[in-house]
Every structure is written in structure tokens, then in C-alpha cells.
Amino acid sequence: MTSDVTLPPDGGRVEPVGLEVEMQRSFLDYAMSVIVSRALPDVRDGLKPVHRRVLYAMYDGGYRPDRGYSKCSRVVGDVMGQYHPHGDSAIYDTLVRLAQPWSMRLPLVDGQGNFGSPGNDPPAAMRYCLAGSTLVATDGGSVAIDAIVPGAAENSDNDIDLKVVGVNGEWVRATTMFHSGCHPTYEMSTSDGRTLTGTGNHPVLTLVGDATSIKLQWVLLEELRAGDVVPVVTGGAPVKAVSPSRGAVNAGRDLSSAVDPTIYGYVKVTAVQPAGVQPVYSLRVDSDDHAFVAGGFINHNTECRLTNVAIEMLRDIDQETVDFTPNYDGRSQEPLVLPSRFPNLLVNGAAGIAVGMATNIPPHNLVEVGSAVQWALEHPDATEEELLEECVQRIQGPDFPTGALIVGRDGIDQALRTGRGSVRMRAVIEVEEDSRGRQQLVITELPYQVNPDALAEKIADLVRDGKIQGIADIKDDTSRRTGQRLVIVLKRDAIAKVVLNNLYKHTQLQDSFGVNMLSLVDGVPRTLNIGQMISYYVEHQIEIIVRRTRFRLRKAQERAHILLALLKAQDRIDEVIALIRSSESAEAARAGLIELLEIDEVQATAILDMQLRRLAALERQKLQDEYDELMAEITDYEDILAKPGRQRTIIGEELGEIVEKFGNERRSRIVAFEGDMSLEDLIAQEDVVVTITRGGYAKRTKSDLYRAQKRGGKGVMGAQLKLDDIVEQFFVTSTHNWILFFTNKGRVYRAKAHELPETNRAARGQHVANLLAFQPDEKIASVMDIKDYSVAPYLVLATKRGLVKKTKLSDFDSNRQGGVIAINLREDDELIAARLVAPDDDLLLISRKAQSIRFHADDDMLRPMGRATSGVIGMRFGEGDELLSMEVVKDDEVDILIATDGGYAKRTKVGEYPVQGRGGKGVVTAKIVAKRGGLVGALTVRVDEEIFAITSGGGVIRTRVKEVRRAGRQTMGVRLINLPGEQTVVAVARNAEADEEEDGDET
């Protein structure tokens, strides 16, 4: 190679190199530059260089949470000018993401103005600049923007107090007028004769879209073209910056139908042309959207400052806790890493694509990560395996800022243990019913990084192409008030579960987050498990505390060194003053002090730097107190440096304060993976009233459709029943509860409450034959709702002939469609009631002829039996009598409420019912009078509860228990409901979840 060296004319040296060799070397240099200096976060603070530079520039520039907001353009300028010599758009994009609560679990920048949305709405430009002649609408009339502060200096910020017209036509306060210097400008002309002149990066609200999607979007002035359409203020009507694309997404919708012409005025752009270099200006407006009207157009920009939690990233940085390096031009210094007093890498996550590698670290919950760090601090001798296991126990998994569901733990466990894995995410969806009775899927939380606008458009495309059936409409009802709310309206014949599973298959309603926990460790990219990440973070924090303590120790020692000299000077103050006054020069005075006080040059210089009157005025006791305090601090600092245990304790205490201040509940709920989503996963848990008629019709109705009434009211209209049908079962339950159907033949079937048809009060519902596989001549005898089969140890069954049987509740947990045997019935007997019971409860049996018996339900009185048994005698009856009901008594604080078919009722203290042995005839429970009817219902109630009473015509009354008079066992009761015609009361039921509503009548 040396023989081929040629010397250029200027005396330089050229060395020929093979192209392949140079490409390899240059590519490796480029790759390492991207890996180390651009794309990958540092394991210690979780930041890439650009993020670190933005945060440090904001901290150093004073853009802190205890101060006002500053224009994003100023922040970007500081970052670009001092630390990051790249394009301002890349810096602004970084700044915007740090402020987005849907991107960051704990945002590090507090943004004011339009910072975009999870959808297609981009953030506003970081600055707007208007020509000086632009008229601003103020409360004092239209004023040229350059006349607001006459003679303002170039590149200056000027405080003002002015009211201007905001984006919604309201008055908003402008607090600052910016003179932004002289810049090239453009002039836009519109079809109505208006003009707007500003810098090329001035954003203009513009109507953009096509036949399937339109929206209002900020477009830079230099990018506008003739024919574009922009909104303007018309006759004082407010102009609102909304995105019609976030409303209905229907194929073929005409553009003009998506906006309200009474609110919006739209004009066409006729020309955009250069207008030369001239001074430009802007305003700061105190409003959420930070926009105002000038020249008839909407003007907008963004402002920012650090968040409080971002200050914790930078805390103690001025105490030599981290190393600094010269910036790109050598004029200032920038930190190589931030102190990061909380584990930002795990809390906020990171994503980046380098050369040949990429990182994708999900956000996690600060409370959980903090718990793992605390364990690591308390167990410094733990092995890597022990630390990993403890971290996995404490950190449940990712916690995304958008919430949503994480489905399955396998992917989480793999990611935490190996640093790589795939986490499946699903949207949070509820099934609701619209005003027209159609089912709709309501999406309230989306998987992380899923664009709701793109999702809606994708669903519309799938419907249009016929790939998904059953969808009637898609609406985006998202707003600041309601949050995320994407509504998918289903056709009447659609099956929600089928539609949903198709949506999961074809859209991002179900998505995966590919975890790759790659970060820089000592400048080298490494994939780490969760334990290693915690370990490296703890090491970093120990270094921070050690360096901070050394800094404080040195400062304390330096101050104590000076104080010692001052104390010596105070002891000989007259001699010191005389020496200083008599000295011919400072050097002579310094030498004299060193000899007189036996101090060093630094101490002597400190004394000489003080004015004599200040030196003489010093109080020795204050100096001594300060010196003693410093010596105690020095001892403490030395102790910290000597004891690693204290260092870890300090880290734990300071981290605990941060977690206490900024930690919050998980947003992403982790659920088990069970294949395709079941319909129950979509059903909102809410109280419903279940109604079952003698003819076998069942339904569920929202409980709030029944209003509370006073005793004696006429009730509200219930089910419209056939003449030969009446309501027999009526109770309140939750949509997710099991409904157990016990039949007269002694069998039990089950279904979820949400599987019953939801109807209004007047509807009959659906016949149970469409839900349950009943045998011939089988009718519903009793219905029970349970959350699961662990809610009680036993189930007690009672028959018409007075037999009772106690069986383990878990014995009835069966998926058999044909039901299971609950009790073996004897001839001419039927099942009457089924109740949950514990061994320390009592059972109360009440007959139709108003006899009752109370006995213990423990194993001595009522031993447990299998399902296929008949039971034992619980109550004996007189001639023509039979069992009406069975109730469970848990304490003496309840009453027994008795109702007759004539509409009368009373309640009696349960203490008036004596405990007896099983198998007797019992005692009288009510005085029966023929005109008031026989007993139709008996149940235990509390005074703060409500009851429902149902008539043979389907009418319902909802009454508070306290409205029913308390009376003795042998009394008749008072009027409960006025019965029209020949109707009778057929059942009463308890509403255990009654809310507090005002009394009122409704017919």
C-alpha cells in the first residue's frame, strides 16, 4: 500500500483504501454511533441521549414545575443550540412524546396546548409567528399584533394583560407577547378576501380528508396550496377545533355533512406566496387549548415545563453525582447520565431501532417496581436467582398508560425472566344496549400504541369488504369528559361473541407487545431480565448516594475549615484587626495572619476577604454552633461512606417518598388466557331484576327501572302477561352471577344472569325451554343466584311435605346441560325452596296456614347428605296445610315479613320465633282473616332494605321495609298494595342492593 501513496498538490496525504474495507469500517462506526448515541437507552436512567438532553436543557434553562410554561420553540432552540445539533423537528417530536399521557406511564414534560392525540390528530406546531400587521380581536377592539407592545425589542418576551377571543368564541387572557425576530414569511389569500401572513412553520387549521374520512388538522402555512379549505370566524360564531374523523366512520359519507354550517365558516385558499423577511410575533394565551383568533383565523402553539416527577430524574445533579462531558462544540457541559431517583427505564419503558438490534421495553407500575427495588436494597447478598424470583413476585407485569387487559401470564413471565417475550393485550369492551334496543360493543380502553382512528377505519373497511358481519354502525364518542369511547353498534340478529372474536382476529382490538429489554450497560448493548435491570439500577443509585455524600462532605469540611479560622480570629480579634490595618499589602496581611493564628493560606484568604466591620461583628457563639453542627454532619457523612447498609437505607427512604407521592393503581388488568373471549367478559357487572312467571317465561330488567314507592301505592307497570300466567319468581342479582333453577321434580339447572333476555318492564321475556333442557312436566320451583360455589358451605332444600335436606354446595357445580339431581322426592311431593346455609345458622319454615318452626342448621340437628337422597322431616302440618317458604336466620337483627294474597303485610322481630327441635308443628306466625287472603310470601328483611311485591296481573311495587309496620306474630298486618279488580299478590322478594332514592308515585 505504501508504494501507491500519492501526494496531492496541497501537501496533504492520500491513502487509497479498498472500497469493501472502508464500507465495513464506516458501517461499523455508524452502527456503533446509532447504538450508543441515538437508539438505545442507558440501563441507569432509561434515557436515550436526545431525551436526556431535552430534560437537562429544560432543567438548566429553568423550565421547572414551580415556574410558568415556556414556548416549546424556546426549549427546542435551547436543546438544539447547546446539546443536540440535529433538526428541530426531531427534538420537538421527542418533547411531545415526553408530554403525552397515553405514551408515558409518568409523563416527564407538562405540556400546555395541543400535543396530539392517540389517534391521527398531530400536535400543533411548536410555534406560530404572525406578521406585525395581523389584527388580533381583543376586548378593546381589533389591534395589530405589533402594536400590543409598541417598540418591543427583537427576540424579547413582553408581559401583557389582555383579553383576546379564544377558539370557542370566549374571552381568554393573553399574558405574554413574543417578538420572535425577523424571518422569511408567506402570505395566504382566501376566497373571501382575507389574508394571513406568517412564518412558513405557522400552523393553520385546515379541513383535510377524502370520501371516507375528514378532519380538521393543523397544516403549516408553507405547505398549504390553492384549493385547500380553512375554517374562519363568521359573524362572531364560535369556531371549534374538532376532528370529524373521530365521529362516525361510515363509508361514502359526504364531506359537507360532517360539519355544522351554523358554527363553522369555510373558505378556500386561493394563493400562498412568499412575503419576504419581516418581524414576526406571537402571544401566550392562558387556556387549555392555547389558541386564539387573529386575522379571522385560529392560531395555536404549545408550551411546556418539566413535571414534578421529572425533577426526581434530575435531583442532586448539581452535587457532582454524575459525570459530565463537553457538548458538541466544547462550549458547555452535558451529563452522561441522569441521577434518575426512580427506575425510569422500567416505569416509562423505551423503544428504539438501532443497527441490527432493537429495544422494546414496556412501561410498568411505579409501586410494583419500587417494591422490587426495596427488596433488592434490603437483601444485598441475594443471588441473581433469588433476586429474579422476588422481582417476578412483586412486579405483576407491564402497566400500560392506556390501560386495557393483559391476557395470560406466560408471556409476562417469559419477558421478566429472559428479557424477551410477547405480551398479549386486549381492549376493554362492555356490551350495552342503545335507545333502539340494539346491542353495542363499547370500547373504553385500547391496547398500548393502538391508534383509535386507524382502528375505526380498519373496522369500517372490514365491514365494507364483507369480512366481518353483524356491524350496523361505528361511532367515536371519545371526549375529554368521557375519555376513550369507541362504539360498535350491532345488527339485531348479530351474536356479540362471534362479532367480537372476528374483531380480535382481524383488528388491533387484540394486539401483542413484543418485549425486548435491551439497554446499554457500560456502553454495551445487553438484553437483561428484570432482576438484572433492578440490580444495575441499585448500583447506579449507590453511586449517586456515595458521590452526593462525598460532595456534601467536602463542602462541609471546607466550610468547617473556614469557620475554624474565624473562631481563632474571634479569640484574638483586636490583634487581627490591628495586623490587617498595619499591613502594607494583602500578601503581608496574609502572611501575618498565618503566623499569628497558625492557619493556612486558604483560611487567611477567607478572613481577608471579609470586611473588617463584618469580621468584628461576627458572634462567636453563632460561629461555634455552626461549626459544631458541621462537625456532626461531617461525622454523619463519613459514617454513610463507611457503611453500605446506610447507603441502601437512604436510597430506600428517598425512593419510598417518590413512590408515595407519584405511585398509583395499576391501569392494565391481567386476566387469564382462556382462548377466545367469552361473552361474559364483555358484560358489565350491574344489578338486574330477574322475573320468572308460572308459565315459564324469564327475563332480566335493569333495577333502576323500578322506583321506590310508599306503602299503599298502586305500583309501576310490570310484565304484560297472558290471563292464565302470573309472576312467581322475582329477585335482584348481578349479571355475572349463576342462576340456579330448581324444579318441582327435584332437579337443578344453571345459567348466567346475562344469558336471560334483557327486556323492559312490560315484556314477558323468553320461555325457559329456550334456555334450559327441562324434562317433561318439569316446572321451576325455586331460583337462587350465587357468585360461585364457594359462597356458602351448604345448600338446604325443602319440599312441600316438609322434608329438608342439607348438601354441600360444591356438589352442585356441574356443566351438564340436562341438569343434575338435587333431591330424591317421595310420591306426591315437590321441591319448594332452596337456600344457602352455614352450620351456625337457623332455618325458619313457614306454612301456608301461618304456622312456623325454627331450628338450628348445625350437623347435630341436620346432618349433611348427598345429592341423591330424600332428606329428613323438618316440619309437620295440620290437615290441608303445606310448606310455603323456608328462610335462613343468621342473627336476631332481622324481621320476618309476611304478605297475603289480599295485599296485606307485616313484619315481626325474629326473636319472637322460638328455636325448637326439627320435626314439630311450630308456632303461629300470623292471624289469618279470609278477606285479607292467605299467605303468599314470607322472608327475612332488615329495616334499611326494600322489597318488591308482584301481582297476578304483572304489576310491581317497590317499597322500603320501614314502610311496613312491625307487629307481633299473631296479628294481621296492614295494607301493602292496592289491588285493582280481581288481582292478587302472588309473590314478594327482597331488593338487597336498593339505592337511596326519593319517595315518589308512578302509575
Catalytically annotated residues: 128
Whether 104 contacts 47, CB under 8 Å: no
Question: Any idea what DSSP says for residue 482?
Answer: T
Helix axes 49-60, 88-99, angle to 10 degrees: 80
> How far is it, in rounded angstroms, from Cα 696 to Cα 689?
16
**How is residue 227 written as a grid cell?**
384549493
CA distance 713 to 979: 10
Residue closest to 373 by CA, chosen among 541, 515, 544: 541
Question: Do 196 and 134 form a contact (C-beta atoms < 8 A)?
Answer: yes
Sheet with 831-837, edge to edge strand ranges: 831-837, 794-799, 803-808, 872-873
CB-based contacts of 929, cutoff 8 Å, min separation 6: 972
Residues 782, 798: Cα–Cα separation, whole Å:
10
For the record, the C-alpha cell of 501 comes out as 372474536
904-909/946-951 β-pairing: unpaired
Beta strands in 596-707 (DSSP E): 669-671, 687-693, 697-702
CB atoms within 10 A of CB 430: 15
Give the C-alpha separation, 461 to 471, whole Å.
Answer: 12
- State how far the alpha carbon of 607 is from the alpha carbons of 510, 639, 960, in Å: 73, 31, 86
Q: How far apart are CA 202 and CA 681, in angstroms?
A: 48
Picking from 588, 65, 623, the residue whose alpha carbon sits closest to that of residue 311 is 65
* H and E: helices and strands count for the chain: 18, 53
Question: Interhelix angle for 384-394 vs 366-378, to 10°?
Answer: 150
Phi, psi of 582, rounded to the nearest 5 degrees: -85, -10
CB atoms within 10 A of CB 627: 17
Grouping H, G, I as helix, E, B as strand and the rest as coil, residue 44 is coil
Laid out side by side, the sheet with 935-941 consists of: 935-941, 895-900, 904-909, 974-975
Beginning with the edge strand found earlier in the chain, give each strand of the sheet holding 420-426 in spatial order: 350-353, 358-361, 510-516, 420-426, 405-407, 669-671
Position 137, amino acid: A
Q: Residue 401 contacts by C-beta under 8 Å, 6 or more apart in sequence?
A: 101, 102, 103, 104, 105, 363, 448, 667
- Cα 605 to Cα 616: distance, rounded to the nearest angstrom: 16
Q: What is the dihedral of CA 651, 653, 654, 657, to 10 degrees?
A: 150
The contacts of residue 31 (CB under 8 Å, 6+ apart) are 354, 355, 356
Cell of 6: 500519492
| Distant-in-sequence, close-in-space partners of 2: CB < 8 Å, separation ≥ 6 | none
Kind and range of the H or E run holding 206: strand 203-209
Q: Residue 498's CB: how many other CB atoms inside 10 A?
A: 15
- How far, in Å, CA of 639 to CA of 646, rounded? 8
Q: What letter does residue 424 receive in the DSSP assignment?
A: E
